[in-house]
A and B are shown apart, each in its own frame.
Chain A
């Protein structure tokens, strides 16, 4: 079945440094979503990418969808302590069933 892997698993950065997490799927994705989950919280939707090569920005966050629609990345510029949490990508699988496959997540810690 489809697998979605994320790297790195953990990342500690100094406040103000940049951060990037990468998401790789074993199969082509229809679309990809990104979520943030704070410790003890639930996943919160950040963005959805649909088109090959798509790039979207939300303030300090930049999201990319690969040309082959099998990988994606999330880049945070000048991290802040409020960025702490686990970032998940979720790829949409539509072959046979309609379901989102979540990645393994990248846990970000920001040191003040």
Chain B
């Protein structure tokens, strides 16, 4: 196990709702990245936080937002959910370059 935990494991929401996903990074890791992985696809980079500041963002709209806390845990918030937001959401913590992924949160939007 990587020591990276995510909650919840599964989530079902309806279109238009808002969702918050949580990630606890591995001890000592000050960087957290979030990815969206659609079925059969590779992970798509959403954004990265380093020491509570966003320092990189992929091609996702502003309704995808995040936070990193002083203990380096992180949240991903998605507003106005759309059907295409259904995916596995992965967080990955790192101290240098190696990324340790959590088990993911499976989000289904109906």
Q: A42-B103, A42-B104 are in contact. Are A100 and B98 (CB under 8 A)?
A: no
**Count of CB-CB pairs between chains A and B under 8 Å:** 53
Chain B 51-72, CB-CB to A under 8 Å as 1, else 0, gives 0000111110000000000000
Bitwise, A82-112 to B at CB < 8 A (1) or not (0) is 0000001010100001111111110000000
Q: Given A43-B43, A88-B43, check contact A98 B97 (CB 8 Å).
A: no
A1 to B88, CA, bound (A): 23
Tell me the complex Cα distance, A45–B33, Å.
14
Assess whether B42 is in contact with A105, with CB atoms less than 8 Å apart: yes
Interface residues on B, range: 20 to 34
B90 at the interface (CB under 8 A from A): yes
B57 contact set on A, CB distance < 8 A:
97, 99
Q: Is the CB of A42 within 8 A of B101?
A: yes
B56-A97 in contact (CB<8A): yes
CB of A102 within 8 A of CB of B100, answer no
Q: Which residues of B contact A68 (CB under 8 A)?
A: none
Decide if A80 is an interface residue (CB 8 Å cutoff). no
Are A44 and B43 closer than 8 Å at their CB atoms? no
B69-110 Cβ-contact flags toward A at 8 Å (1 or 0):
000000000000000000000101000011111111000000
**By the criterion CB–CB under 8 Å, are A102 and B42 in contact?**
yes
Asked if A31 CB lies within 8 Å of chain B CBs, one says: yes
Instruction: Check if A102 sits within 8 Å of B43, measured CB to CB.
Output: yes
Minimal beta-carbon separation of A70 from chain B (angstroms): 18
Does A20 touch B at the CB level, under 8 Å?
Answer: no
Q: Give every chain A residue within 8 A of B41 (Cβ-Cβ).
A: 104-105
CB contact list, A3-31 vs B, under 8 A: 31
Candidates A1, A48, A104; contact of B42 at CB < 8 Å: A104
Expressed in whole angstroms, the Cα–Cα distance for A102 and B44 within the complex equals 7
Q: What 10 pairs between A and B have smallest CB-CB spacing?
A: A102-B42, A97-B56, A42-B101, A99-B56, A98-B56, A99-B45, A102-B43, A105-B42, A45-B98, A43-B101
8 pairs, A vs B, C-beta closer than 8 Å = A1-B59, A31-B97, A33-B97, A45-B100, A88-B42, A102-B42, A102-B45, A103-B42
